[in-house]
Amino acid sequence: MIFLDNAGTTKMFEECAETYSFYACQEYYNPSAATRKSAKISAEINDVRSLILKKLGTMEGTVIFTGGATESNNLAIKGAIRGGDYEYVFSSGEHPSVLNVAKSLQMQGKTVHFVKLQKNGQIDPEDLKSKLNQKTRLISCMFVSNETGAINDIKELSKLRDKLAPNALLHIDAVQGFMKIPFSVEDFKVDMLTFSAHKFHGPKGVGGLYVRKLNYIKNIVDGGGQEYGLRSGTENVPGIMALRTAIEKIDVRKNYENVQSLKQKFNEIISKESGIKILDFQGSLYIESLVFTGVKGETMLHALEEKNVIVGLGSACSSKKAGNRVLSEIGIDKNDIISSCRVSFNAYQTLDEIEKAADIIIKVYNDIRKRVS
């Protein structure tokens, strides 16, 4: 099988499975207990926090471990809510775990603004300017779009925040960027950042929220007070340690170069078929979309699966819904949206795999087009 839906999830490293098993079956102690063995586990968890801070390019702040990106995004947004005449600003291209929280705030009577996207998939800075003011409490936007791969200029957004809404917190969903694209939270000047292990070959069910200062947010679930009182519940020790193994194994810059070669070869082959359009927004090398003229994307997805090539229809969290909200927002033709599939790579695939996948995609497309014409 050739898996080209890596924006949806990635195959866990075998080393991570070994680490997970070790901490689930041997070093299985509860880090909150009073024993020396538990204290050792707690210290190891804190070492993982320090490792993540290092990878984020900072030693300021801390990391709250969660059950994944959805929980982290909810904690960042709901935890930042305060009473009073505050306003909340979101990109209209956000993942459902942000967008639906924003809509919920609207229903609660909060003042919520949605910022438009440009044709290139990036947040519109002029529209953002019009939505920021002294009342802005929180700005939340993606670093890398999970739908298009478009990369937002977080440095520029941060400058706009400093100028127009200096008291606002800046939260970014970096799920498609952390351990994939080189960046530093010090350069970005963000206050909170979301990541998820299964997007970079770690286990499902574990992620985190970087917070520059703990008093920026409040807990949204009551319990035993773990994770600095912000995320109660026994820590997922095997998941956290397996996450560490994934981080230690990955060379971000080397992987980015590898993916660049894979994507270049893939597009070189795909572009030979005039009926297939490549929607590449010059963002992340890991993500792009293909438009299969005259053939529905869902038809292509299932036909390719029969040939052991897996592609996606955009976010797995909204793949069962008709259309694609983000592609529509940036002005992609409705027929092209219906005929599109998302392709996303990982750095551990080979050129041979990518060439084979591209050839299969072209053949399957032509076979279907002949039958429906």
Q: What digits encode the pLDDT tens for the residues 204-245?
A: 999 999 999 999 999 999 999 999 999 999 999 999 999 999
Q: Which amino acid is at 142?
A: M
Quote the percentage of the chain above a pLDDT of 90. Answer: 94
Quote the percentage of the chain above a pLDDT of 70. Answer: 97
pLDDT digits (tens, 9 = 90+) for 275-328: 999 998 889 999 999 999 999 999 999 999 999 999 999 654 544 555 688 999
pLDDT digits (tens, 9 = 90+) for 168-199: 999 999 999 999 999 999 999 999 999 999 99
Span 25-44, mean pLDDT?
Answer: 96
- Give the span between the Cα atoms of 264 and 269, in whole angstroms: 9
Q: Looking at the predicted structure, is the pLDDT value of residue 36 above 70?
A: yes
Per the document, the length of the chain is 373
CA 253 to chain centre: 18
Q: List, by residue number, the catalytic residues.
A: 317
- Give the span between the Cα atoms of 330 and 119, in whole angstroms: 5
CB under 8 Å to 5, separation ≥6 — which residues? Answer: 310, 311, 312, 316, 342, 343, 344
Range list of H helices, the chain: 14-25, 36-55, 69-80, 96-107, 125-131, 154-164, 185-188, 237-249, 252-270, 297-306, 325-329, 334-338, 351-372
Residue 313's alpha-carbon distances to 115, 178, 200, 301, 356, in angstroms, are 24, 22, 20, 8, 21
Domains of the chain: 2-9+251-372 (3.90.1150.10), 14-249 (3.40.640.10)
Burial class (CB in 10 A: 0-12, 13-18, 19+), 268: exposed
pLDDT bucket at 373, cuts 50 / 70 / 90:
low
Say what the pLDDT of residue 318 is: 47
- Strands 207-211 and 62-66, how do they pair? antiparallel
Say what the pLDDT of residue 342 is: 97
